[in-house]
Structures are given as structure tokens and as C-alpha cells.
Amino acid sequence: MSFNEFPSRLLENAVNEFASLPGVGRKTAFRLVMHLLKRDADEVRRFGETIIRLHDEIHYCKVCNSISDSEICSICSDDKRDRSVICVVENIQDVMAIENTRQYKGLYHVLGGIISPIDGIGPADLKIDTLEEKIMSGGVNEIIFALSTTMEGDTTNFYLFKKLSKYNTSITTLARGVAIGDELEYTDEITLGRAINNRNLYQQ
């Protein structure tokens, strides 16, 4: 089935909107629209209004740049968090991933991307100045680099290290090694090599 002619302009517009989303083709878009037509009018109205409110009312935390419902996010305004540790991440998905481990009690700093010359993203496009200001204003004992283990992540780590190593703050990075559940024979050799070099004492 191709979609040259729509019986309704409204239908066509809705399909076009869904098809503009990444990874959604015209067939899927059509299927989603037909699904919405079968739903209650109230539900569809709520769907549309939620999307509109999303962009209009959402805030980016003034301290860490994460997404928030208010000017300062719930993590940055939480008195129980350790303000001496800042974990540097690429985006808010990474904040959520680390939060879900429930292992980290410090603060975050969302860069809003990583250095990627191929995508035209340089250091000036990232929130690096505000990170440096936080360190300069004192009270920060540790900066954790928690970026992807890709070429771009490594480049960004290197740039940040050059910029921040002059301050009296320890700079750490996430442990690299064989992921839990991974089979050794399918682990790539760089990961395996690092895991051997950084081996720990066995604990039962």
C-alpha cells in the first residue's frame, strides 16, 4: 500500500506529523493515526495537549542543565545530595540511567552533547564554562567523567581533563571492564585488555 492520495486532509496532516519523527515511516505513522482515531476523543486531546505543554512549560535546570519542572531540578535542590562531587554526563538520559542505579548521591552536570567534529559539535557548543565556574567557586572535591566510551567521548574527556586538571579537584572516570552478563569470548579485545590490566582483588 502506498499513500499517494488521502481521503482527508486532516488525516494526511496527522500522518505527516508522525512520519516526521525519527524512525517512524509513513506506514507506521498511518497505523498510529488510525489507532488514535479509534481512541476516545478525550484521550486524543490529552495526547495533543501533553505534547504542546512539553515544549512550552519544561525547564532546563539552571545549575546542571538537566530537564526539570522548575528552575532548579529536584536533584540540585535536594539537601541530601553530596555537593562536593559532580558527575559530568552527555545528556539527561545518562542522568536517568545513573539515577536508576541508586548508587550515586552527588550532583550532575549535563554537557548537552559531546565533542564531535563530524557532527560540527565543538567545545563551544557544550556547557563547559559553567562546569568550570562551579569548580572555581570551590567546594568541589571530585569530578567524575561519565561519558560514552566512544571516540567522541574520549575526545571530550581529554579536552575536559586539559581544561580542568589545573584545579585542585580529583578527576575520576567510570570503571571500564567486562559488562555483567557478557561472555568473555564475545568481549572485544580492547575492553578485555583493559579489564586484565585493571584487575581487582577477588571478593566473594
Summarize as ranges the residues that interact with its own copies (CB under 8 A).
Answer: 1-11, 13-14, 17, 20-24, 28, 30-37, 39, 41, 44-59, 66-69, 73-75, 91-93, 95-97, 99-100
- The region, left, alpha or beta by phi > 0 then psi within -120 to 50, assigned to residue 154 is alpha
Nearest approach, Cβ of 203 to its own copies (angstroms)? 26
Contact (Cβ atoms closer than 8 angstroms) between residue 177 and residue 191: yes
Nearest approach, Cβ of 66 to its own copies (angstroms)? 5
Nearest approach, Cβ of 162 to its own copies (angstroms)? 29
Nearer to its own copies among residue 26 and residue 163 (C-beta): 26
* CA contacts within 13 A on the Cβ side of 152: 16
Nearest approach, Cβ of 71 to its own copies (angstroms)? 12
Nearer to its own copies among residue 13 and residue 198 (C-beta): 13
Nearer to its own copies among residue 42 and residue 189 (C-beta): 42
Which grid coordinates belong to 153?
A: 567521548
Nearer to its own copies among residue 93 and residue 198 (C-beta): 93
Buried b / exposed e along 122-154 (16+ C-beta atoms within 10 A)? eeeebbbeebeebbeeeebeebbbbbeeeebbe
The overall longest dimension of the chain from CA atoms, in Å, is: 69
